[in-house]
Amino acid sequence: MSGDKGGGSAHDAAMRFQGSSQVVRPPCLWTTSVIAPLIANSLALASLLIMLSSGLALIYGLRDVINFGHGALYMLGAYLGYSIALVGGFWVALFFAPLLLALLGVVFEYGVLRPLRGRSHIEVALVTLGLGIILGQALIFIYGGEARGVDAPAALAGSVSLYNLSYPVYRIFLIAMGLGSCTALALWLRFSTSGLYVRAVSQDPSVARMMGVNSDRLSLLVTSLSAAFAGVAGVLAGPYLSVDPGMDVTMIVDCLIIVVIGGTGSIAGSIVAALLFGFVQVAGSVFLPDLAALAPYVLLFVVLLIAPRGIGRGRAPA
């Protein structure tokens, strides 16, 4: 069975989960046949969200700038993945698309972030929003307005059977990728010099600069990594969600909610937030399908009312 197709939003993905397990279940029975796919699907969705929102959170923590074009980068990664996969297959796409996006990240750093350094944060954010819109429109112009399906590679097609339940291999791969990138990120932040610098600058930018941290080089690294990860997420999303116009808007909104819930400058916070978000979205689509689209917004309100600064221990005030 090849990968899923259909609308590109997280909500649409969640809606399709209902077909993933072969056991027909009544909605309110808490059995393994309901819980297990629920958790697995939440993890799969969260994997994508973690890859995207940690990139967003890193740039925000480092430069206090929200890259509103992040969703468009993800969309570019998905469309590039689609095109490259047509000629070279999935794995080639998974290798080259992130590379191309990392290059775009470098262009973004030198062409946009550095020249606009003196401007207010709102202004830079709005410029990235404008650029994101332009990129999105360009992609629609080139590829047209219908959704494209991408097939999962042969190695990852099909389902695997566990305890009477059937689960698509591709999603397990997705969860593994998510886990892998999380671990890689955590290791980098914790044990490498640049990771330490990123944490320091995120916590207290002025002090870190005083200690001679080259925040320019750091920023270049973070921006291109962030773009590369958006590319990875875009390619991975192909067989799982599908590639369609409008995926940039839904994704940037979801990622922004996650970053805000996670707390400024807290990567751990955004990871927890992504997990929470994934779960709420999937659970919402299973138990309350009509209102599932509103779930992220309700989550945002609830979390911020309880913890106004977000989940993680972010930057100290002023």
Partner 1 sequence: MLEIANLCVSYGRVRALDGVDLTIRGAGALHGIIGPNGAGKSTLLDAVTGRRPPSGGAVRYRGQDITRKSVRWRRRHGMARSFQRTSIFTDLTVREQLTLVARHLRDDRLDDVIEVMNLGEWLGEKAGRIAYGVQRRVDVALALIGRPELLLMDEPGAGLSAHETLSLFQHLRDLVRERGMAAVVVEHDVDAVFACCDVVSVLDLGRHLATGSPAAIRADSRVIAAYLGSAA
Partner 2 sequence: MSNGTATRVAARNGALLPGASTRVPVAVVLAALLFGLGAFAPVHLASEFVLRIASGGLLLGMLALSVAFLMCQAGLVALGAASVYGGVGYLFAIAMSEWDLSPTSALLFAFVTVVLYSVALGALIVRTNPLAFMMLTLAAGEMINHGVMLEALRDYTSGADGLVVNFKGAILGMTAADLANATQFWPIAWSAAWLLGLAAYAVRRSRFGAILRAIRDNEERMRFSGFDTYLPRLVAFVFVNAIAAICGLLHVLNSGFVSPESLGLGVSTNALVAALIGGVAGSTGPIAGGVLFAFAQDQFGARGFTQLLTGVAMVVFIVALPRGVVGSLVEAARRNLLPKRGAR
Chain residues in the site for partner 2 (CB under 8 A): 66, 116, 119, 122-123, 126-127, 129-134, 136-137, 253, 256-257, 259-260, 264, 290-291, 293-294, 296-298, 300-301, 304-305, 308-310, 317-318
Residue 8 tokens read as 């590109």
Q: Does 142 bind partner 1 (CB under 8 A)?
A: no
Distance between start and end Cα atoms, the chain: 54
As separate numbers, helices (DSSP H) first and strands (DSSP E) second, the chain gives 12, 2
Half-sphere exposure of 193 (CA within 13 A, CB side): 6
What sign does the CA torsion over 294, 299, 300, 305 have?
positive
Report the residue count for the chain: 318
**What is the closest distance, in whole angstroms, from the C-beta atom of residue 14 to partner 2 in the complex?**
15
**What is the closest distance, in whole angstroms, from the C-beta atom of residue 300 to partner 2 in the complex?**
5
**What is the closest distance, in whole angstroms, from the C-beta atom of residue 235 to partner 2 in the complex?**
24
State which residue, 21 or 67, has the beta carbon closest to partner 2: 67
Q: Does 121 bind partner 1 (CB under 8 A)?
A: no
Long-range pairs for 272-277: beta carbons < 8 A, 24 or more residues apart: 272/311, 272/312, 273/53, 273/303, 273/310, 273/311, 273/312, 274/46, 274/49, 274/50, 274/53, 274/54, 275/42, 275/43, 275/46, 275/50, 276/303, 276/311, 277/46, 277/49
State which residue, 136 or 231, has the beta carbon closest to partner 2: 136
Residue with tokens 């980068």: 73
Q: Does 313 bind partner 1 (CB under 8 A)?
A: yes
**What is the closest distance, in whole angstroms, from the C-beta atom of residue 269 to partner 1 in the complex?**
14
**What is the closest distance, in whole angstroms, from the C-beta atom of residue 27 to partner 2 in the complex?**
18
State which residue, 140 or 165, has the beta carbon closest to partner 2: 140
State which residue, 200 or 304, has the beta carbon closest to partner 2: 304
State which residue, 278 or 310, has the beta carbon closest to partner 2: 310
3-state SS class at 249: helix
Residue 155 tokens read as 């190695």
CB atoms under 10 Å from CB of 208, counted, come to 20
Residue 313 interaction partner, one of partner 1, partner 2, none, beta carbon < 5-8 Å per kind: partner 1
Residue 200 interaction partner, one of partner 2, partner 1, none, beta carbon < 5-8 Å per kind: none
Tell me, by CB under 8 A, how many residues bind partner 1: 3
Q: Which of 29, 87, 306, 318 binds partner 1 (CB under 8 A)?
A: 318
CB atoms under 10 Å from CB of 20, counted, come to 17
State which residue, 174 or 293, has the beta carbon closest to partner 2: 293
State which residue, 122 or 155, has the beta carbon closest to partner 2: 122
Question: How far is residue 41's CA from residue 168's CA, in Å, rounded to a whole number?
Answer: 10
Q: Which residues bind to partner 1, rule: CB under 8 A?
A: 206, 313, 318
